Amino acid sequence: MKLWGGRFTQRADEIMEQFNTSLPIDYRLYHEDIQGSLAHVEMLATCNIITAEERHQLKSGLQTILQDIETGTLEIKGEYEDVHSFVEMQLTERIGETGKKLHTARSRNDQVAVDMRLHAKNKALEVAKGLEMLMTSLSTKGAENNVIMPGYTHLQRAQVVTFGHHLGAYVEMFKRDNKRITNAIEVMDENPLGCGALAGTTHDIDRTITTAILGFAKPVNNFLDGVSDRDYLLELMADFSIIMMHLSRLSEELILWSSQEFKFITMADAYSTGSSIMPQKKNPDAAELIRGKTGRVYGSLFALLTTLKGLPLTYNKDMQEDKEQFFDALDTVLDCMEIMSKMIDTLTVNADHMKAAIQAGFLNATEVADYLVSKGTAFRDAHEIVGKLIIYCEQEKKAIEELTLSELKRFSSQLTDDIYDYIDYETIITKGNKKLMLENS
Ligand code: ARG
C-alpha cells in the first residue's frame, strides 16, 4: 500500500518492496509522526488552507490512531512503505476522503525530518537523565567508600589516591558528556516542517505556528538544508561514542579491580555470570559487554558519516539508513548507562586489599622527595636519593616508613624524625584533599 502510484503502470517487485520499506525500523517514530501531523493540521486550518470541520475530523482521526497504538489495539505492521504511509492510510481508512487532505503543503521529506528531530530531542533528554543517574551512583559509592587506594600511571602503582577521588574522575567525564548533549539539543532545535520536498510550498503556510506547537526554538533558515540535514544525529552519535568510550574505560577498571590479581572490588552476582566448565568462576560479563558494545556505537557513527558523505542536496533515499544506526546507538548507550549505574550501586569495596596494595608499592616515594625539597635539596637530587632508598627497601623487603631513622639517614642527613608523619598515607591524602577543596572553591 502506497501513497503514490499515479504515474506507475507496473507493480514493484516483492523483493523491492521489502528492500524499500522502513516500517520495521521507523515504526518507533509513530508518536512524533502523529504529533507533527496534528501541528500541521492546526497550521493548515489557521492559515485557511483547510476548513474548521476538516481540522476537527483530521485531528480526532489522528488522536484515535495514537490512542489505539498506545493501548495496543492497533499494531504498526503491514505492507506499508514507512510509518508516515501507515498513519496517513489509517487516517483515510477511518475518516474517509478528508484524510487525503492531511498531506497538503507537506512532503515526506520535511515530515521525516521533523519526526526525527523531535525524536532525537526527546531521546537526548533521556540520555541526559541516564548520565545524571550514573553520576549519582558514582558519587554515592565514592562518598560511602572514600578509602585509600593506589593510583596508577602505565598501570604501575604511582601515588596514593582515594576510591572516591578515582570514581570522581568519571563523574567529571560524564558531566562534560552531559554538557555536550545539552549543547547538541540547542543546536538541533530548529523546525524543518514547511520545507516541503525541498523548495517550500506555494501554499500560504505559516511555519511559526508549527514551530510554536512543536516546541522548537525557530524554523530552519533554508529549505534545502532543512530536508537534508542529519548533522544533529551525527553530533548525538559522536556524543554517544564519547559516553561509551568513558563507560568502556570504567568497565576496564571494574574488570581489572574485580580480578584475583587486584581484588579491590567484588561485583554483585546480579551483574556477573558463571563458567559452564570452571565451577569457581565469576565473570564480569556486564562490564565486558559494555566495553564490547562501545565498538558498535562507534560503528554506527561511522556508518552514518559514510552514508552521508557523498550525497548531493537534497533528500536521497540513502538517508533512510540514518534510523537503524541512530536507534541502535541510542538503545545501546541507554542500556549501558543503566547497567553501569546498577553495577556501581551494587559492588562492594575491599578496602583492605586496596590498602595492602599501597603498602607494597612505595606509593609515598614522591612525598619523600618532596620532603627533601622542603629541607632544601634540589628536586633532581632528591629524586636520585629516593631511587637509591627504594633499591635498599626492595633488598630489605621493607616499606619506606618501616625503615629506622638511622637507616634513612644513610641516604640523606636531611631526613629527620618528622619524615614519618610527612609520608604517612593518611597525611598525604588529607593534604591533597585540602588543596583540591581550596582550588575548587
Ligand atoms: N522512509 C523515508 C525515510 O526514512 C521517508 C522519506 C521518504 N521520502 C521520499 N522522498 N521517498 O527517509
Kindly report the pTM of this predicted structure: 0.94
Q: Which H/E stretch holds residue 153?
A: strand 148-153
Max CA separation in the chain (angstroms) = 102
Question: Is residue 82 in contact with ligand 1, taking CB distance under 6 Å?
Answer: yes
Question: Is residue 109 in contact with ligand 1, taking CB distance under 6 Å?
Answer: yes
CA distance linking residue 334 with residue 116, whole number of Å: 18
CA distance linking residue 325 with residue 305, whole number of Å: 10
The pLDDT > 90 percentage for the chain reads 89
User: Which residue puts its alpha carbon closest to atom 12 of ligand 1?
Assistant: 320
Distance from the CA of 193 to the center of ligand 1, in angstroms?
14
CA distance linking residue 363 with residue 436, whole number of Å: 19
Distance from the CA of 317 to the center of ligand 1, in angstroms?
6
User: Phi-psi category of 78—alpha, beta or left, where left has phi over 0 and alpha has psi -120 to 50?
Assistant: left
What's the pLDDT tens digit per position in 229-273? 999 999 999 999 999 999 999 999 999 999 999 999 999 988 888
Say what the pLDDT of residue 9 is.
Answer: 76
CA distance linking residue 364 with residue 160, whole number of Å: 7
State yes or no: pLDDT of 439 exceeds 80.
no
Say what the pLDDT of residue 408 is.
Answer: 96
160 and 142 in contact (C-beta within 8 Å)? no
Residue type, 417: D
Cell of 358: 599501597
Phi, psi of 190 (to 5 degrees): -130, 145
Q: Show which residues are catalytic.
A: 154, 275
The pLDDT > 70 percentage for the chain reads 99
Say what the pLDDT of residue 184 is.
Answer: 98
Question: Is residue 320 in contact with ligand 1, taking CB distance under 6 Å?
Answer: yes
CA distance linking residue 439 with residue 187, whole number of Å: 33
Question: Is residue 315 in contact with ligand 1, taking CB distance under 6 Å?
Answer: yes
Beta bridge partners of 414: none
Task: Calculate the average pLDDT of the chain.
Answer: 95
CA distance linking residue 274 with residue 412, whole number of Å: 54
Q: Which H/E stretch holds residue 152?
A: strand 148-153
Read off the pLDDT band of 114 (50, 70, 90). very high
User: Which residue puts its alpha carbon closest to atom 7 of ligand 1?
Assistant: 108
Say what the pLDDT of residue 361 is.
Answer: 82
